[in-house]
Amino acid sequence: MRTSHFVMADTGWPGCAKSLKGVILDLCGVLYDSGEGDGVAIPGSIEAVKKLKESDLQLRFCTNETQATREKFVAKLRRLGFDISVSEVFPPAPAAIAVLKERGLRPHLLVHDGLLPEFDGVDKTNPNCVIVGDAAENFSYQNLNEAFRVLIGLEKPVLFSLGQGRYYKETDGLKLDVGVYMKALEYACDLKAEVIGKPSPTFFQSVLNDMGLQPHEVLMIGDDLLNDVGGAQHCGMKGVQVRTGKYSETRLPR
Amino acid sequence: MRTSHFVMADTGWPGCAKSLKGVILDLCGVLYDSGEGDGVAIPGSIEAVKKLKESDLQLRFCTNETQATREKFVAKLRRLGFDISVSEVFPPAPAAIAVLKERGLRPHLLVHDGLLPEFDGVDKTNPNCVIVGDAAENFSYQNLNEAFRVLIGLEKPVLFSLGQGRYYKETDGLKLDVGVYMKALEYACDLKAEVIGKPSPTFFQSVLNDMGLQPHEVLMIGDDLLNDVGGAQHCGMKGVQVRTGKYSETRLPR
């Protein structure tokens, strides 16, 4: 597996390129590195996006970002120099909304204030499921209780979690991530959450649906072997790992 | 198993009574029923405690109460008519303190304000473990983050949980219990909490230590088949189930 990826990367597009109709790119670690302010674009990435856009391939961007709307997130990418539009970017929240529509579900939201505008057009009356995101300070006892009461009051409780991270680092220290509160609600209600976000097959499928393409027609390019490459391959897509971002930190399987 | 308990209960003390040196009684559902105000004493229970106290048997009381100090809890029992003193009552917090002393641990506390006075005499500087109780409104994002940072900063993180309940009912609705936040911290730090409280063997052992008795010399009487009878038997004690409290709700094993 290791060789094939890097042969693919080293020799340009893989042999299957002729059947390719679309490419999905990860963002952080592939196109830019996060850091102070907006972060910095990775050398060559602005041109790579430009070339892909000039090709016949459909292009989408996948990220697990859940604390900002796509609009704010894309504005940052555009400031970095990328020709990327909002409709091309797929964080977990819009994928969740697609799932809600498919299944006729009305969510109770336990998410970050910055994410709420994503759900403006979604019917949230008389909720029949709960969506938990990285709500940070919104993870109060009262708010978690409220989400719990919605779930426990449902005949068939459905919990969606926008990612399953344990914690992340900010300038003022480590912060608990959404996965921790997902586990709390899972235990309280004796259920299993449906994770939306990489590497969930549901998440990738929502992007494929948007492209109108079959998995074998699409290539996923990312820096994370589990969430990007593994998740894509699990869906029947080709997966390619770049050598930037968290690549250098990754222990490759032998 | 069913028959033997009730033969024991129906015919007075069991055959092993001659080797008995101590009795542990559960409180809620055995001596009193909780409800508005202090609740009500169960008929015959005040006299039963009196008789036990007049015997040669050592007597202790075990409860999973963690929102009040022993002093406040015992004051309620005395108002109900029971001749019970603070030193005889074992909720999880004092049991946890005994474990801290045994293992030279200094706790960071994530507990209810009403429980804090229990830990007044405990060294909490430079903590090397975390104790989580039913903290209710104190389960803020900030407080959970703080407990998490203590744990993740330890070379060998130790988490104690005062019980493992999922939720309970109060007059204004269902409330998340300590077990939910135990699970959250377990996932965040990839560890397994040590539960103190019934049915934990550590909990019962701390009571046995206080009595200076061996398990086979002690009888546990409760209304909960799992937490009282099962927990006691798991430690080598005899367990007897009363027919009050949650007995009637209990589905007995066949």
What are the structure tokens assigned to B9, written together? Answer: 């209960």
Cβ contact B187–A167 (<8 Å): no
User: Can you spell out the DSSP letters for B164-220?
Assistant: ---EEEETTEEEE-HHHHHHHHHHHHT--PEEESTT-HHHHHHHHHHHT--GGGEEE
What are the structure tokens assigned to B2, written together? Answer: 């069913």
Rg (CA), chain B: 19
Which residues in chain A show pLDDT less than 50? 1-12, 249-254
ω into B199 cis (within 30 of 0): yes
What per-residue confidence (pLDDT) applies to A3?
Answer: 31
Q: Work out the burial of residue B147: count CB atoms within 10 Å of its CB; fewer than 13 is exposed, 13-18 middle, 19 or more buried.
A: buried
Domain extent listing, chain A: 20-91+199-216+235-247, 93-196
Q: Does A149 touch chain B (CB under 8 A)?
A: yes
**How far, in Å, CA of A210 to CA of A219, rounded?**
15
What per-residue confidence (pLDDT) applies to A165?
Answer: 82
Q: What does pLDDT average to over chain B?
A: 88
What per-residue confidence (pLDDT) applies to B5?
Answer: 34
Q: One-letter amino acid identity for A206?
A: S
What per-residue confidence (pLDDT) applies to B133?
Answer: 96
Counting other chains too, the contacts that A190-195 makes at CB distance below 8 Å and 24 or more residues apart are A190/B166, A191/A151, A191/A157, A191/A159, A193/A132, A193/A159, A193/A160, A193/A161, A193/A164, A194/A158, A194/A159, A194/A160, A194/A161, A195/A160, A195/A161, A195/A163, A195/A164
What per-residue confidence (pLDDT) applies to A104?
Answer: 96
User: Can you spell out the DSSP letters for A20-52?
Assistant: --EEEEE-BTTTEE--STT-EEPTTHHHHHHHH
In terms of pLDDT, which residue wins out, A194 or B246?
Answer: A194
Tell me the chain B residues in contact with residue A148 when contact means C-beta distances shorter than 8 Å: 167, 174, 176, 180
What is the phi-psi region of residue B114: left when phi exceeds 0, alpha when psi lies from -120 to 50, beta otherwise? alpha
What per-residue confidence (pLDDT) applies to A68?
Answer: 86
What per-residue confidence (pLDDT) applies to A164?
Answer: 86
Q: Please give, rounded to a whole number of angstroms, the shortest distance from the CA of A55 to a CA of chain B.
A: 43
Any idea what DSSP says for residue A235? T
**How far, in Å, CA of A61 to CA of A93, rounded?**
14
Which CATH architecture fits A20-91+199-216+235-247?
3-Layer(aba) Sandwich (3.40)
- CATH assignment of A93-196? 3.40.50.1000
- B30 CB-near residues (< 8 Å, 6+ apart): B42, B45, B221, B222, B223, B242, B244, B245
Q: Give the max Cα distance, chain A.
A: 56
Q: Report the residue of B187, B191, B195 to disrupt the A interface, i.e. the one with the largest count of A CBs within 10 Å.
A: B187
Residue B179 contacts residue B164 (beta carbons within 8 Å) = yes
**How far, in Å, CA of B118 to CA of B109, rounded?**
11
Residue B175 contacts residue A148 (beta carbons within 8 Å) = no
Q: Which helix (H) or strand (E) holds A196?
A: strand A194-196
Of B166, B188, B190, the CB nearest to A187: B166
Cβ contact B183–A187 (<8 Å): yes
Q: How many angstroms separate the first and last alpha carbons of chain A?
A: 8
Cβ contact B183–A179 (<8 Å): no
The confidence band for B246, taking pLDDT boundaries of 50, 70 and 90, is low
What per-residue confidence (pLDDT) applies to A131?
Answer: 98
What per-residue confidence (pLDDT) applies to B248?
Answer: 55
Residue B58 contacts residue B124 (beta carbons within 8 Å) = no
Instruction: Locate the DSSP E strands across chain B.
Output: 22-26, 32-33, 40-41, 58-62, 89-90, 107-110, 129-132, 159-162, 167-170, 173-176, 194-196, 218-222, 238-241
> Any idea what the Cα angle at residue A131 is, between residues A146 and B166, rounded to 5°?
45
Q: Report the residue of A112, A141, A148, A161 to disrupt the B interface, i.e. the one with the largest count of B CBs within 10 Å.
A: A141
Which of A190-194, B33-37, B80-84, B210-214 is the least confident region? B33-37
When pLDDT is averaged across residues B17-39 and rounded to a whole number, the result is 86
pLDDT higher than threshold 70 for residue B14: no
The confidence band for B174, taking pLDDT boundaries of 50, 70 and 90, is confident
User: Closest chain B residue to A137 measured between Cα atoms?
Assistant: B141
Domains B27-90 and B93-196 share a fold: yes
Q: Work out the burial of residue B121: count CB atoms within 10 Å of its CB; fewer than 13 is exposed, 13-18 middle, 19 or more buried.
A: exposed
Cβ contact A140–B141 (<8 Å): yes
Residue A238 contacts residue A22 (beta carbons within 8 Å) = no
Please give the ipTM for the structure prediction. 0.77
**How far, in Å, CA of A163 to CA of A84, rounded?**
23
3-state SS assignment for residue A133: coil
Tell me the chain A residues in contact with residue B176 when contact means C-beta distances shorter than 8 Å: 141, 144-145, 148, 184, 188
What per-residue confidence (pLDDT) applies to A234?
Answer: 94
Which CATH architecture fits B27-90?
3-Layer(aba) Sandwich (3.40)
Neighbours of B209 (CB within 10 A): 12
Neighbours of A204 (CB within 10 A): 26
In terms of pLDDT, which residue wins out, A206 or B190?
Answer: B190
What per-residue confidence (pLDDT) applies to B19?
Answer: 87
When pLDDT is averaged across residues B206-233 and rounded to a whole number, the result is 92
What per-residue confidence (pLDDT) applies to A171?
Answer: 66
The closest alpha carbon to A252, from A224, A211, A216, belongs to A224
Cα dihedral sign for B122, B125, B126, B130? positive
Residue A176 contacts residue B145 (beta carbons within 8 Å) = yes
The confidence band for B18, taking pLDDT boundaries of 50, 70 and 90, is confident
pLDDT, tens digit, 9 for 90 and up, residues B30-71: 998 876 778 889 999 999 999 999 999 999 999 988 888 999
Q: Please give, rounded to a whole number of angstroms, the shortest distance from the CA of B135 to a CA of chain A.
A: 9
The closest alpha carbon to B67, from B124, B121, B138, belongs to B138
